Amino acid sequence: MNLDEKVYLELIQLISEHRRDLFDEIAAQRTDYINVVIENLYKEHNASAVLRTCDCYGIKKLHVIENENQYKVNRDIALGAGKWVDVETHALGNPPALQCIKTLKSRGYKIIATTPHTDEFDVYDLPIDQPMAFFFGTEFSGLSAEVLEHCDMRVKVPMYGFTESFNISVSAAILLSALRKRLNDSDYNWRLSKKEQTILKTEWCIKNLNKGKEIESEIRRRLIEKEL
């Protein structure tokens, strides 16, 4: 048993049995195979709704590209999802979108631009054989030219009416619903490893305990000293 596992086993004893079981159940369904990226959203209720959607579909990480607009969470809409979804902000670079793309590509992700203006793929025939990062743009202008130029693929949500596009949170929900169903039915290795699940559940314990970080640090220090 490694140090992280030992720390987790001590931390989890401080959590209620119900929440302990919930952590096990939900961590087993979390995925880092899909990342969601939102670019320069200015309506906080839309950004918060996407965050909530990520949690509902088991997405471990949401990336936020801040250009002119700073990312803010509306607590009434997010309903605590910020506690369960990792948020990574990209505000550096000129523009920040290119740095975000570079970072995700270095981690092995295919860059997928979501746009209604494509016949390349839809959510039902998009190849899902590699980890994917899905970029969603602003409410009116969509994704930036930089993202559309440097993406690996483009995907759309099929629509059959007069309106050109869905609200961004609706688009994210439809796309993630379809992709989770396809991944669940596939043989791809999309789940977190046991080690990754342990690290994630440790983070959840820390967030749920009063002075959780201090408690985790003290447990880790004591276990390290014991092994010396």
Reported as a single tens digit per residue, the pLDDT across 88-125 is 989 887 889 999 999 999 999 999 999 988 999 999 99
> Can you tell me the distance from the alpha carbon of 187 to that of 190, in angstroms, rounded to the nearest whole number?
9
Place of tokens 């250009």: 67
Rg (Cα) of the chain, in Å, rounded? 19
Would you state the structure tokens that stand for residue 113, as one six-digit string?
A: 């631009």
Query: What is the distance between the alpha carbons of residues 161 and 158, in angstroms, rounded to a whole number?
Result: 10
For the whole model, what pTM was predicted? Answer: 0.90
In the chain, the DSSP E strands lie at 34-39, 61-65, 86-90, 110-114, 121-122, 132-136, 153-156
Cis peptide before 95 (omega within 30 of 0): yes
Q: Place 79 in a pLDDT band, splitting at 50, 70 and 90.
A: very low
Which letter, b or e, does each residue of 145-182 get, where b requires 16 or more Cβ atoms within 10 Å of its Cβ?
Answer: ebbbebbeebbbbeeeeeeebeebbebbbbbbebbbeb
pLDDT tens for 211-228 read 999 999 999 999 998 876
Decide if 112 contacts 154 (C-beta within 8 A).
yes
pLDDT at residue 168 is higher than 90: no
Find residue 110's DSSP bridge partners. 132
